[in-house]
């Protein structure tokens, strides 16, 4: 394991022969694949949190495949959407399985995305020279959230309809153009046939757009290379991607797929909302309407702010702040391991995020209103106070840790 | 240890086993996807259909849909039945005796149906699947010389007589298929079901 700063090894060049060689000389896909996924140098000290990139890639493929086959049976019209989804569950051979995989996959995709994001925040993956990697990742987060919202509307059940309605009203809260924008995006006075058509196309299109941005994300990653838990670069030791990380990614995938399968086959109700198995009814709002769990923290912020537009700004701002992380935190020390103050801020951030999720499940009144406001302040505090302040304090590695920060 | 002497090095074995397991997994995972493309619910479309033929006038044709295809039911006139029996007609037909398996055994006769009065044929040309037009009236020249009455396909000019037997000199190779049928009660024709005791399976015919 020689110390090697060059990620793309050139010593072990392989010359391909025959058909492979003919293609490779004209379009070096084999040489490229070898350089990026076989001999590619990886830090030797990555922990399990670095598994989630590969997991997300595979879940995306599963979502694309199941989504494509579900779209074959789905009818995007207000009159027929609900019945076509019921038919997928009850009549299409294996349709129940494809839909269960797609629904569970959506939840696990967001779960893995949040872990991946946490990994980035904790180990300073957003820092120079990986700012663009961080930003493409956040763009993906926004795109996936939009895709998830659009997908949730498609079954046109009660939660679908009222989810679309609430989001429409939130857009309507934008001062000045809000009312017009809501009417324009919705394609009418209330969510209906036109909205459903648009959201179906949006969902379908975004799925492939996400794939495209993932390619960019991975390409950017392979320029700077993976960070590592110590945050010391270049890392003390590197190993080739194959077999070390191909095997580790595969092992992580097996564990992840096991959890996935257990959810799909034994606990499908965890991700399904019973109320959404009633057809959309614009005349009756369900008693307890709340978004999917992965939107709850942002819904919690929305509820905690005592202003319709203010809530929207603070809620969207919570994601917007993430984009500023590389410039709010410019400490040369990457890893939270060697940054006690920053680490405390991260703990507060995670606690606030989970708390806001709980707040999102309750009506904004009494104690939940107060808890929600405190958690919102803690969330914002990590970015606007802890990041700049700890940048000035935490600039060196502790004694005994070798390497340049 | 001499690596060349070992029949299968440990690393190769692990790679092979992992690849094989992954291949089996991907194969199993592909099953629900392919399964979802399997046509479902066609049983309903294949149920027998009862048709009220009591009000049909001689010479009239009605069309129903069975198994997704048009089925023509005709009430033949005595003149039409006489035309089917003309000795001069048989040499002009490809399969006048209905020897190709395009009908139930009980319809392998000169009128290609259970009773001569009612004709029952699948209205899909055996050439390329267009729906032939009903031209029941005999004519000296239209659509062909010495036309006894029958069906003419608009696509490539195939011709069939009133029993669905195909004429020579046109592209269609086989007679029009005859579906299983029988009279449930006087005036009620059931299409898609054999008379009691018959075991004809429509799936066994040469082609639609």
Residue B87, token pair as written in the block: 């000795």
| B71-81 pLDDT, tens digit each | 999 999 999 99
* pLDDT at residue A11, rounded to an integer: 55
Does A336 lie in the same domain as A316? yes
The lowest-confidence range among A179-193, A391-405, B122-136 is A391-405
Share of residues in chain A with pLDDT > 70 (%): 97
Q: ω before A243 within 30° of 0 (cis)? A: yes
Does B58 lie in the same domain as B15? no
Does B33 lie in the same domain as B60? no
Q: Determine which helix (DSSP H) or strand (DSSP E) holds A62, and give its type and residue range.
A: helix A52-73
Task: Read off the pLDDT band of B158 (50, 70, 90).
Answer: very high
Q: In terms of Cα–Cα distance, which of A230, A231, A248 is closest to A239?
A: A248
* pLDDT at residue A183, rounded to an integer: 93
Does A377 lie in the same domain as A310? yes
SS3 category, A313 = helix
For B95, how many CA atoms within 13 A lie in the half-sphere containing its CB? 21
Does B89 lie in the same domain as B71? yes
Q: How far apart are alpha carbons B25 and B27 in whole angstroms? A: 5
Are residues B89 and B83 in contact, defined by beta-carbon separation less than 8 angstroms?
yes
DSSP A212-278: HHHHHHHHHHHHH----TT--SS-S-EEEIIIIIHHHHHHHHHHHHHHHHHHHHH-GGGT--GGGGS
* pLDDT at residue A8, rounded to an integer: 81
DSSP A226-243: ---TT--SS-S-EEEIII
User: What CATH number is associated with residue B181?
Assistant: 2.102.10.10
Residue A394 lies in a domain: yes
Close Cβ partners of A152 (under 8 Å, ≥ 6 residues apart)? A159, A160, A163, A292
* pLDDT at residue B73, rounded to an integer: 96
Share of residues in chain A with pLDDT > 90 (%): 86
User: What CATH number is associated with residue A119?
Assistant: 1.20.810.10
SS3 category, B54 = coil
Does B143 lie in the same domain as B60? yes
Residue B149 lies in a domain: yes
Per-residue pLDDT, averaged over A171-198, amounts to 93
Task: Read off the pLDDT band of A3 (50, 70, 90).
Answer: very low
Residue A116 lies in a domain: yes
Does A174 lie in the same domain as A261? yes
**The domain boundary residue, chosen from A261, A289, A317:** A289
Residue A242 lies in a domain: yes
Better-predicted residue by pLDDT, A357 or A273: A357
| CB nearest A65 (choices: B22, B31, B33) | B33
Number of domains observed in the structure of chain A: 3
Does B147 lie in the same domain as B64? yes
State yes or no: pLDDT of B4 exceeds 60. no
Does A187 lie in the same domain as A125? yes
Does B116 lie in the same domain as B67? yes
Verify whether the Cβ–Cβ distance B36 to A65 is below 8 Å: no
Q: In terms of Cα–Cα distance, which of A232, A193, A237, A255 is closest to A54?
A: A255
Does B200 lie in the same domain as B122? yes
Report pTM: 0.86
| B8 class by beta-carbon count within 10 Å (0-12 exposed, 13-18 middle, 19+ buried) | exposed
Sheet holding B159-161, edge to edge: B133-135, B150-152, B159-161
Residue A45, token pair as written in the block: 């000290």
* Contacts with A97 from chain B: Cβ below 8 Å: 32
Residue A44 lies in a domain: no
Task: Read off the pLDDT band of B5 (50, 70, 90).
Answer: low
Structural domain of residue A99, as residue ranges? 49-289
Residue B1 lies in a domain: no
* pLDDT at residue B107, rounded to an integer: 95
Residue A102 lies in a domain: yes
Are residues B96 and B89 in contact, defined by beta-carbon separation less than 8 angstroms?
yes
Per-residue pLDDT, averaged over B111-125, amounts to 95
* pLDDT at residue A288, rounded to an integer: 82
Task: Read off the pLDDT band of B104 (50, 70, 90).
Answer: very high
State yes or no: pLDDT of A349 exceeds 70. yes
Does A276 lie in the same domain as A142? yes
Does B34 lie in the same domain as B61? no
**What backbone torsions phi and psi does residue B52 show, to the nearest 5 degrees?**
-80, 110
* Contacts with A249 from chain B: Cβ below 8 Å: none
SS3 category, A110 = helix
State yes or no: pLDDT of B96 exceeds 90. yes
* pLDDT at residue A404, rounded to an integer: 66
Does B110 lie in the same domain as B58? yes
Verify whether the Cβ–Cβ distance B33 to A92 is below 8 Å: no
Residue A379 lies in a domain: yes
Does A376 lie in the same domain as A311? yes
Does A140 lie in the same domain as A240? yes
State yes or no: pLDDT of A33 exceeds 60. yes
Residue A125 lies in a domain: yes
State yes or no: pLDDT of A289 exceeds 90. no
Chain A residue with minimum CA distance to B14: A247
Sheet holding B118-122, edge to edge: B61-66, B69-75, B118-122
* pLDDT at residue A1, rounded to an integer: 35
* pLDDT at residue B142, rounded to an integer: 87
Q: Determine which helix (DSSP H) or strand (DSSP E) holds A122, and give its type and residue range.
A: helix A95-122
Task: Read off the pLDDT band of A399 (50, 70, 90).
Answer: confident
Query: What sign has the CA pseudo-torsion A6, A10, A12, A13?
Result: positive
Q: In terms of Cα–Cα distance, which of A13, A251, A247 is closest to B15?
A: A247
Q: In terms of Cα–Cα distance, which of A290, A364, A312, A307 is closest to A181?
A: A312
Does B113 lie in the same domain as B33? no
Query: What integer best gives the mean pLDDT of chain B?
Result: 91
Does A22 lie in the same domain as A112? no
Does A271 lie in the same domain as A135? yes
Per-residue pLDDT, averaged over A319-338, amounts to 96
Residue B112 lies in a domain: yes
Tell me how far the alpha carbon of residue A357 is from its chain's centroid.
16
Per-residue pLDDT, averaged over A288-304, amounts to 92
* pLDDT at residue A82, rounded to an integer: 97
* Contacts with A98 from chain B: Cβ below 8 Å: 32-33, 36
Does A77 lie in the same domain as A163? yes
Residue B153 lies in a domain: yes
Q: Which residues of B touch A (CB under 8 A)?
A: 18, 22, 31-33, 35-38, 40-41
State yes or no: pLDDT of A298 exceeds 90. yes
Does A224 lie in the same domain as A252? yes
State yes or no: pLDDT of A10 exceeds 70. no
Task: Read off the pLDDT band of B40 (50, 70, 90).
Answer: confident
Residue B72 lies in a domain: yes
Task: Read off the pLDDT band of A4 (50, 70, 90).
Answer: very low
- Active-site residues of A: which are they? 222, 226, 248-249, 292
Task: Read off the pLDDT band of A2 (50, 70, 90).
Answer: very low
Per-residue pLDDT, averaged over A160-170, amounts to 94
Roughly how many angstroms between the first and final C-alpha of chain B, as a whole number? 69
Does B34 lie in the same domain as B81? no
Chain B residue with minimum CA distance to A261: B29
Tally C-beta pairs within 8 A across A and B: 29
Query: What sign has the CA pseudo-torsion B8, B9, B13, B19?
Result: negative
Task: Read off the pLDDT band of A146 (50, 70, 90).
Answer: very high
SS3 category, A209 = helix
| A219-242 pLDDT, tens digit each | 999 999 999 999 998 888 999 999
Query: What sign has the CA pseudo-torsion A32, A37, A38, A43?
Result: positive
Q: Could you give the C-alpha distances from B200 to B104, B106, B108, B183, B196, in angstroms and in order?
A: 6, 9, 12, 16, 11
Residue B3 lies in a domain: no
Task: Read off the pLDDT band of A192 (50, 70, 90).
Answer: very high
* Contacts with A65 from chain B: Cβ below 8 Å: 33
Are residues B122 and B177 in contact, defined by beta-carbon separation less than 8 angstroms?
yes
* pLDDT at residue A320, rounded to an integer: 97
Residue B180 lies in a domain: yes
Verify whether the Cβ–Cβ distance B32 to A97 is below 8 Å: yes
DSSP state of B147: B
Residue B168 lies in a domain: yes
Q: How long a stretch of residues is chain B?
A: 208
For chain B, say whether A81 makes contact (Cβ under 8 Å).
no
SS3 category, B61 = strand
Structural domain of residue B136, as residue ranges? 49-204
Q: Determine which helix (DSSP H) or strand (DSSP E) holds B150, and give its type and residue range.
A: strand B150-152
B143: number of Cβ within 10 Å = 13
Does B69 lie in the same domain as B28? no
Q: How far apart are alpha carbons A285 and A103 in whole angstroms? A: 23
Does A163 lie in the same domain as A18? no
């Amino acid at each position: 394991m020689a110390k090697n700063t060059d990620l793309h090894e050139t010593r072990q060049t392989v010359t391909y022969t025959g058909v492979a060689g003919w293609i490779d000389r004209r379009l070096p896909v084999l040489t490229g694949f070898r350089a990026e996924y076989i001999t590619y140098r990886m830090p030797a000290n990555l922990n399990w949190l670095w598994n989630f990139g590969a997991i997300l890639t595979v879940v995306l493929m599963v979502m694309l495949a199941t989504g494509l086959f579900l779209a074959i049976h789905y009818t995007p019209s207000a009159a027929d959407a609900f019945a076509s989804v019921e038919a997928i569950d009850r009549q299409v051979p294996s349709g129940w399985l494809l839909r269960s995989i797609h629904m569970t996959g959506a939840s696990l995709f967001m779960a893995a995305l949040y872990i991946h994001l946490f990994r980035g925040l904790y180990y300073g993956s957003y820092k120079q020279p990986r700012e663009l990697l961080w930003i493409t990742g956040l763009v993906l987060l926004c795109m996936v959230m939009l895709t998830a919202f659009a997908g949730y509307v498609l079954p046109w059940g009660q939660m679908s309809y009222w989810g679309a309605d609430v989001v429409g009203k939130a857009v309507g809260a934008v001062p000045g153009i809000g009312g017009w924008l809501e009417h324009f995006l919705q394609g009418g006075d209330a969510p209906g046939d036109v909205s459903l058509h648009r959201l179906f196309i949006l969902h379908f299109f975004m799925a492939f757009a996400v794939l495209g941005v993932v390619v960019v994300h991975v390409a950017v990653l392979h320029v700077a290379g993976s960070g590592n838990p110590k945050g010391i670069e270049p890392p003390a030791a590197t190993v080739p991607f194959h077999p070390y990380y191909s095997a580790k990614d595969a092992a992580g995938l097996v564990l992840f797929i096991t959890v996935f399968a257990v959810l799909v086959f034994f606990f499908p109700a965890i991700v399904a909302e019973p109320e959404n198995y009633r057809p959309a009814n614009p005349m009756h709002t369900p008693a307890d309407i709340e978004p999917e769990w992965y939107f709850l923290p942002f819904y919690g912020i929305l509820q905690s702010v005592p202003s319709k537009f203010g809530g929207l700004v603070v809620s969207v701002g919570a994601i917007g702040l993430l984009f500023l992380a590389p410039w709010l935190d410019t400490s040369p020390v990457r890893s939270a391991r060697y940054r006690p103050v920053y680490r405390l801020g991260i703990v507060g951030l995670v606690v606030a995020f989970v708390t806001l999720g709980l707040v999102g499940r309750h009506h904004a009144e009494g104690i939940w209103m107060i808890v929600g406001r405190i958690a919102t302040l803690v969330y914002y505090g990590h970015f606007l106070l802890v990041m700049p302040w700890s940048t000035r304090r935490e600039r060196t590695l502790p004694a005994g840790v070798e390497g340049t920060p | 240890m001499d690596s060349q002497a070992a029949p299968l090095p440990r690393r190769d074995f692990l790679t092979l086993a992992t690849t094989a397991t992954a291949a089996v997994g991907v194969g199993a995972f592909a099953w629900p996807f392919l399964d979802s493309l399997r046509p479902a619910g066609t049983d309903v479309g294949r149920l027998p259909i009862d048709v009220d033929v009591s009000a049909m006038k001689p010479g009239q044709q009605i069309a129903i849909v069975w198994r997704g295809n048009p089925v023509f039911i005709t009430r033949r006139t005595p003149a039409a039945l006489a035309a089917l029996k003309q000795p001069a007609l048989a040499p002009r037909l490809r399969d006048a005796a209905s020897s190709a398996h395009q009908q139930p055994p009980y319809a392998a006769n000169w009128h290609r149906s259970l009773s001569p009065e009612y004709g029952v044929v699948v209205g899909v040309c055996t050439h390329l699947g267009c729906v032939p037009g009903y031209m029941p009236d005999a004519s000296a020249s239209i659509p062909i010389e010495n036309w006894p009455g029958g069906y003419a396909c608009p696509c490539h000019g195939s011709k069939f007589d009133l029993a669905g037997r195909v004429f020579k000199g046109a592209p269609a190779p086989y007679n029009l298929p005859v579906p299983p049928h029988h009279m449930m009660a006087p005036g009620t024709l059931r299409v898609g079901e054999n008379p009691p005791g018959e075991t004809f399976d429509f799936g066994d015919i040469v082609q639609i």
